[in-house]
Amino acid sequence: MSALMFSSVAAAQPPSGLSSELLSVGLSLALVVLAIIFLALLVKRFNPNLGNSQDFKVIRSLPLGSKERLLVIEIDDKQHLLGVTPHSINYLYQLESPLEATPTAPFAKELSRLMSGANNNKK
């Protein structure tokens, strides 16, 4: 009977000390920071609108597979359709009637501005 009482008392005791709580909070914080960095890299990789400049602008992007996509780009006020794969970029067609650019979400715009500022600081 005393063994049963000892095991129930040991199971009811909380983890000892402040150090285990700090470790738990620290690991949780590190996990959140890593998730934010990972998501920022994914947005940069898979959102072609982040690389727009004044001379070259991506108007639309349509993924066809895991690494293949169709892009409508604008250069010199003319829109062109490109096929993009990991190994090549193929010119397909010049559009006769221009498409409107899809609006970028405010978060993506701000992230683009922050990332381009970080890239300019590295150079």
pTM of full prediction above 0.85: no
**Residue-level pLDDT at 123:** 46
Can you give the pLDDT of all 123 residues of the chain as single tens digits?
555 555 555 555 555 667 888 999 999 999 999 999 999 888 777 765 555 566 778 888 888 988 899 999 888 888 999 999 999 999 998 988 877 776 667 777 777 777 766 555 544
**Residue-level pLDDT at 58:** 82
Which has the closest alpha carbon to 95: 78, 83, 70? Answer: 78
Q: How far is CA 88 from CA 43, 79, 85, in A?
A: 22, 19, 5
Q: What are phi and psi of 61, to 5 degrees?
A: -140, 130
**Residue-level pLDDT at 70:** 92
